[in-house]
Structure 1
C-alpha cells in the first residue's frame, strides 16, 4: 500500500523557510523544494494544518543557538496534522490514508510545507471527531501544560489531591490547555489573563480569574486567599519575589519559558534544599501523552481554542501574530489545495 500511495506524491512541494537567523516574518521565504521521503520508522505526511509556537520564532531569532536550527535553510514548525501517504521500512502501526497528529523532529522542522516526514514514535492517529486544526494545536502547547501539571502533582485518574494552582497567561497557547487539564484533575484554579479574556478563561473552568493589569492581578494573590501548591507559569517578567509570598509551604513554580536567571534561581533552590522552588520545564515529547490529549479532544473533555487561521501563502502573517504575543489560543496555518 505504501508503494501505491507513494506514486501519487509529487516530486516538489510548496514550503516556507528562512535562510538566516533573524529577520522575523520578513525573513520567511516561499520556496519550491523536493518532497522528503520516509526512511526507517518514518511516515510521509500530506499536511493539512500546522500550529505556530513561540519556540518556532525564537529559533529563527537565534535564541537557541548553537543547538537550533541545526542547519540553514530551515523549514520551521513541528506541530502538525495530516494524512499518511507513505510509510518507511519498519513502520507497522500506520498505513496510507490514516489521519494523524504528529510532532516533527525539532532539529529538522518541516511543518510549514505541503508534505513532511514524521517519526512513528511521535505520531498518533486522529479520530474523525478531531479536526486537523484542533489536533495540530496539541503537541507542544498541550503537552507542556500536561507535564507542568504533573510535575506539580496533578493526577488524571481520580487519585490526585485537591491542589490549588495558579496559571499565568491563561488565555495563551499553553495556558488555555492548562486550565482545562487542571479542572480535569480536580484542582482549584486561579488564572491570570487580560481583561478581554476574563469570561473566556472562566468558561474553560477557572475558579478565579485575575486581570494581570490590576494591582490584584500583579500581586497574583488568590481572591479567596488560597496559597498555591503549584504555578504553571506561562509568561515572562514576573520575579520570584512576587511568587514566593503566594506559595504554599512546599509550593512550586513550573516555569515553561525559563531564562538564564530562572535556571540559576532553580539551581540555588536545589542546593539550599528550599521548600518553595522554581522548577524550569523542558517538554519531553512522547507518544503516550499525545494519545492521551487526542483522546480528551475526541471525548469533548478538552478543546483547542483557535485564535486565527492562515493559509500557507500567508504564513508570514501567522508568524508575525505569534511574535506580537497577544493571541488567544492557537495560531493555525492550513495547507490549502
Structure 2
C-alpha cells in the first residue's frame, strides 16, 4: 500500500512539473510555419457526446484546436484518415471523444525536443485509442508515434495503412517473432484475410517469402490472390476446419476472427516445433466492462496465463497481440511500401462531410480493405 501511495504522489508531482514546463514550451519553443500555422482557436471535427450508434456522431465547427503540452509532441494538419472497427466500438465506450486513429498529413508545429521532424514534413501515424482522434482538421501526437509518409503514396493511400499495419506488425513480428530472416518457407494461415489487418498481413508475409493460406469468402478470393496468397479457403463452402485439416500443418496462425476458431485452429499447427497461434480477438475490453478496470485486467491476465500454459504442454505457443503505436515500426513499414512490397488496399473513399456513411459501411462488416476519409 505504501508503494502505491508513493507511485501516486510521484505521478502527481511529475504531472505538475510537466504542466508548467509545457506552458514555457508553448510560449518559447514551439516552431511554426509562418502564415500557414493555424491562427484560429477552433476547428471542424466529428465528435461523440453520448453513448449510442451512428446517430451519436456530431459534426462541429467549434472543436478546440489541439496545442502542444509536452516537448516531444507535434501537431499534424490532417489530410486523410480512415475508419477502423475500433472506431465503431468506441462509440459505445467513452465520451466526449473525437474518433479516428489513422492520419496522413503535414507537420504544422513541433515541440522543443522533436528532432526528426520539422514543419512542412509529410508524415503518417496511428494515434493510440486513449488520445483524441483524427476525424478533425488538426491532431496532436507524440513524436515517437510519427513517421515520414512513404514517398510513393498519396495522403489518401497512406491513411489506409498505419493502424492495421501496426496491429499486424505487432502480431507477426513483435509477438510472433517472424521477420525477413526467418520466414522463408514458413507455412502461415491467416483467418479473416480480406479486412485491413488481413490484407496487410498477407503482403508482409509474402514479402518475407512465407507460404500463405488465406481464409475469406469466395467474393474476396480474387483480392487475396492478387495480394499473393498461395492457397485460398472459402469459409462459406463447407466446414473450414475440415478443409484446413486436408492441408499440411502450419508454422504460424494469425486469427482476426476469434469466437470458436481457437477451439480448433490450434490443432492445425505443427507440434513441438515452435509453431505459434496469435489472436487479435481478446476478452480485455469485455472483462473491463463487466468487472471494472482492475478486476478486468486481472481476469484477462489469468485467462491468458492459463491458455498459454495449457497449449504449451500441447506443443504449441498461444499468444494475444494488440495494436502498438510506433513511429519506428512505421519506418520499417514505409520502407516495404516504397520498395513496392506493400500496397494500400482501399475499398471506398468518403469526403469529410460523409463520415456517418463511412461508419455505417464499416459497421456492416465484410470489409475488402479499408474505408478512407479525405479531410482535405
TM (norm. structure 2) is 0.80
**2:196 partner SS:** coil
- Alpha-carbon distance in 1 for matches of 2:35, 2:362: 34
Judged with a 3 Å threshold, the aligned counterparts in structure 2 of structure 1 residues 7 and 100 are, in CA distance, closer, same or farther, namely closer
Aligned partners of 1:190 and 1:222 also within 8 Å: no
**Cross-structure match for 2:270:** 248
Cα offset, 1:239, TM superposition: 3.2
What is the alpha-carbon root mean square deviation over aligned residues? 2.2
Aligned partners of 1:143 and 1:285 also within 8 Å: yes
**1:293 partner SS:** helix
**Cross-structure match for 1:65:** none
Mark the runs of 5 or more structure 1 residues left unpaired by the alignment: 63-68
**Cross-structure match for 1:269:** 307
Cα offset, 1:173, TM superposition: 0.8
Judged with a 3 Å threshold, the aligned counterparts in structure 2 of structure 1 residues 108 and 284 are, in CA distance, closer, same or farther, namely closer
Are 2:351 and 1:335 equivalent residues in the alignment? no
**Cross-structure match for 1:281:** 321
Cα offset, 1:7, TM superposition: 6.0
User: Which shows bigger deviation, 11-20 or 256-265?
Assistant: 256-265
- Alpha-carbon distance in 2 for matches of 1:227, 1:99: 44
Cα offset, 1:77, TM superposition: 1.4
- Alpha-carbon distance in 1 for matches of 2:31, 2:243: 54
**Cross-structure match for 1:143:** 166
Aligned partners of 1:220 and 1:242 also within 8 Å: no
Map 1:64-143; keep pairs closer than 5 Å. 69=94, 72-143=95-166
- Alpha-carbon distance in 2 for matches of 1:61, 1:220: 37
**1:235 partner SS:** coil
Aligned partners of 2:166 and 2:323 also within 8 Å: yes
Are 2:59 and 1:30 equivalent residues in the alignment? yes
**Cross-structure match for 2:43:** 13
**Cross-structure match for 2:257:** 235
**Cross-structure match for 2:355:** 315
- Alpha-carbon distance in 1 for matches of 2:220, 2:235: 11
- Alpha-carbon distance in 1 for matches of 2:359, 2:192: 19
Cα offset, 1:92, TM superposition: 2.0
- Alpha-carbon distance in 2 for matches of 1:8, 1:286: 26
Q: Larger Cα Rg: Structure 1 or Structure 2?
A: 2
How many pairs does the alignment contain? 325
- Alpha-carbon distance in 2 for matches of 1:127, 1:154: 23
**Cross-structure match for 1:66:** none
**2:359 partner SS:** helix
Aligned partners of 1:220 and 1:243 also within 8 Å: no
Aligned partners of 1:18 and 1:75 also within 8 Å: yes
Aligned partners of 1:79 and 1:139 also within 8 Å: yes
Larger proportion of helix: 2
- Alpha-carbon distance in 1 for matches of 2:137, 2:258: 34
**Cross-structure match for 1:207:** 230
Among candidates 151, 168, 178, match of residue 191 of structure 2: 168
